[in-house]
């Protein structure tokens, strides 16, 4: 019995050794195969990189006009210039409707806008003149009651109101001190005759000098009662008046 047990143990040891040798051989073959695959992948990646590096840049065609009649390509707009749609998208979040209640219970309305970097709303002094209560509303219908007036200049017809956080106006319009030139395109954003947040387009007709109010911009953009206090914007998106 003991001899049989010893023989069984010896046979098992031999079988284990054979199995270990087989596993070692398979592991070595697997490692060699993985190394070959990695080397081939590295060679392919290097070849692709060399191909890209040696390729010549391809010139892209100029944008063509949507007219398929064979006309010449449409001229590109002046660098940095915005069209009316872009001006409106830029200015609308900064624009407000101002509604004032008069002592006799009637109401009047005007326009205003937020200035970049300043926690205030700019409008015309005559928009708020005589009002006992003022309310501001944005295009997305956020509202705030005006609790105070920061400054008023009757001579220049300018009034500054505080920017209430409830209006959620995160960024105002940029101001520029550079006067526009005659013939330059401008856009007016306001609330004419109750038609809220209306954009009109025109050109600068002339620059005038008023003894009391200083330099004035004459333009042919449609501006009606209710538009007072709204921004006049150039094609760079900056307020000129």
Catalytic annotation, residues: 126, 157, 228
DSSP per residue over 89-146, as a string?
HHHGGGEEEEEEE-TTS-EEEEEEEEBTTSSEEEE-HHHHTT-SEEEEEETT--EEE-
What is the Cα–Cα distance from 141 to 60, expressed in whole angstroms? 45
What is the Cα–Cα distance from 82 to 173, expressed in whole angstroms? 14
The residues pairing with 239 across neighbouring beta strands, listed in sequence order, are 175, 233
Largest Cα separation within the chain, whole Å, is: 129
């Amino acid at each position: 019995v003991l001899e049989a047990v010893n023989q069984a143990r010896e046979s098992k040891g031999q079988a284990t050794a054979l199995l270990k040798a087989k596993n070692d051989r398979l592991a070595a073959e697997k490692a060699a195969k993985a190394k070959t695959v990695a080397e081939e992948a590295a060679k392919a990646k290097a070849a692709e990189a060399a191909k890209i590096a040696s390729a010549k840049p391809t010139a892209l065609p100029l944008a063509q006009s949507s007219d398929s009649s064979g006309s010449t390509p449409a001229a590109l707009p002046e660098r940095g210039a915005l069209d009316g749609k872009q001006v409106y998208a830029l200015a609308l979040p900064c624009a407000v409707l101002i509604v004032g209640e008069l002592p006799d219970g009637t109401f009047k309305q005007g326009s205003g806008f937020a200035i970049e970097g300043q926690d205030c709303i700019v409008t015309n002094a005559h928009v708020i003149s005589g009002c006992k209560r003022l309310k501001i509303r944005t295009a997305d219908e956020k509202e705030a009651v005006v609790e105070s007036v920061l400054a008023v200049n009757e001579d220049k017809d300018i009034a500054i109101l505080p920017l209430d956080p409830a209006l959620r106006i995160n960024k105002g319009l940029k101001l520029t001190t550079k006067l526009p030139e005659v013939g330059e395109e401008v856009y007016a954003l306001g609330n004419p005759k109750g038609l809220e947040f209306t954009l009109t387009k025109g050109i600068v007709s002339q620059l005038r000098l008023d003894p009391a109010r200083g330099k004035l911009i004459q333009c042919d953009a449609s501006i009606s009662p209710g538009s007072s206090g709204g921004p006049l914007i150039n094609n760079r998106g900056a307020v000129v008046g």
